[in-house]
Structure 1
Amino acid sequence: MQDKAIALQPPLTWMDDSQRETGMFQVTTPPGGCPAQTQTARELPAFLCPAGEVLLLGSQVRERSLKSWRGARLAMPALLCASLLLVACALAASADQVQQQMGSNTEEQIRDMHAKVTEIWQEMMQRQAAAIDPDAALHAVCRVLPSATLEAEQPRVSGLVLFRQLRPGALLEAFFHLEGFPNEPNGTSRAIHVHQFGDLSQGCDSTGPHYNPMSVLHPQHPGDFGNFAVRDGQVWKYRSNLAASLTGPHSIAGRAVVVHAGEDDLGRGGNQASLENGNAGRRLACCVVGLCGPGPWAHQAQENAERKKRRRESECKAV
């Protein structure tokens, strides 16, 4: 079996001149770089070496902070990818032995490794954000795409989920803007939850169960966001006081947000599945939560305010 050549350090480039002033970077992966998806248990988790992920540092970043970030970013992804490369090569070289000795435990152990590396990555990102501006709010973005395993007749849901946490320990805020739902009577609802793994190698099916670090029953999980009303094929909703966090040992950064085909029964379904996932049905679409700067949130907040204004004006005209 021939080993894959993996670039340990993707280049960091400015997105364009207009975004240079706001401190917006984009990480890109060259041909032959970190794998774009995980196809077997022997390859690396996709989100750990992201291609095209955006990291916004905000408009108030000083030159010395930029120098500090440039130095730190050379070490962090290289160290992480190098460690994972060694593990992946070891697994590939002894694949037959591993399968004979460990059997069905192989996948479980790799998922454990995935979870541990995720925690390391989260901690590194949080420390870097704190070093740049310890008083700044944390933001995250999740670009929702249809699951790769959907049948042709299933709806193709896409959109954006944005998060903001004003300080560590504060409750989370979120914007949900999704479209592509089937044309059904207004008032139908869809469940949205955070799932354990940021692994989209098999569409949304590989994101694992609900993220449940405290081993509690549904709907007590930190990412149990509940049901969202669909109107005219869209979900457009702002929610506050969410129990999830972008910081600390139970951060949802690097984990998946999943949009379901059904409604969450909120643990009242009378069966075991209800206490695990709310019987929310098929996974239609998903994304991986990634830390970002304040730009996307500010843009969405302005758009939301304008939308509310247009709605009020429309209601006044109707009266």
Structure 2
Amino acid sequence: MKIIVDAMGGDNAPESAVWGGALAAKNYGEEVVLVGQEERIRAILKEKGMDGVSGVTVVHAADVVDMHDDPATVLRAKPNSSMAVAFQMLKKGEGDALVSAGNTGALLSGATLYGGRIKGIRRGALAPVMPSSSGQVMLTDAGANTECTAEMLLQFAFMGSLYAEKINGVKNPRVGLVNNGTEDTKGDVLRKEAYHLLKAAGDAGRINFVGNVEGSMVPLGGCDVAVCDGFAGNVMLKTIEGVAKFMASGVKKVFYRNLATKLAYLPCKTGMDEFRGLFDQDRIGGAPFLGIAKPVIKAHGSSNQTAVMNAIRQAIAYTKSGMIEAVRENIEYMTVQAAE
């Protein structure tokens, strides 16, 4: 298997992508192609003592897509950028999956333009995993589509359910519709229409729909897949991340207040480290773009080498899972006509 890595994407690129890519090739035994400015990439490989790692190849790309570029046009404006070259390789079949920590909008545009959507899927969805009291919850969509139709939310639900089962190992994953109340009469027109479609799919046994879930229920284990439009999903994701950082900072201040509290912290250290680990994005690595015909994984912008390595692990698992074929097999149940 060959995983293509946009080595110039992200805040810590190219070092994080190069180092993480080499670690992935060494640890997972799959081929990793690092796309970017060749001279810089080879210098980092040499600096890290990994220039001789088996399975690592380099493809030169002179330009870089940065966070300020227009996502809709940058890949055509910069055809020699690392992201554009990586996508061109994916389209030609010169790799099985693509990983990037670069511009999210440009990555979605490239995934749609070069990877293509699975036939029948209206839009690709960004689907990160977050910690919850029941283990993990997948949020879909988390920012790729700020304006959605009820049919799109139905498709997000199906794809999230398939991913949770096939890749995250969740049996019969519970699918919830994020809403401003649990009653089936709650929400705006979009949420009411989506509820009708999701309930029909649940009644038919296609998904395990548990109804509406309020925002507070998502991290408290109310569902395994939380379905929403990209605007609400992104706000929820960033809010949960912010609250987690706020809580961590607050707890640290409590324990560092004086000598007595510092001593009291020692017996709690192992438990606190484990709890912080639940929110460690580097362990997860990245989020898939569901609905794209070829695996594309978005690593977070501040990814270090561990995050990139784990994003590549995700890409390998995604490619081997049969997830994309499973979506194709179920596409007839993901349309308004069939669901109704």
TM-score, reference length from structure 2: 0.26
Q: Which has the higher contact order (CA 8 A, sep 6+)?
A: 2
TM-score, reference length from structure 1: 0.28
When you count helix as a share of all residues, which structure comes out higher? 2
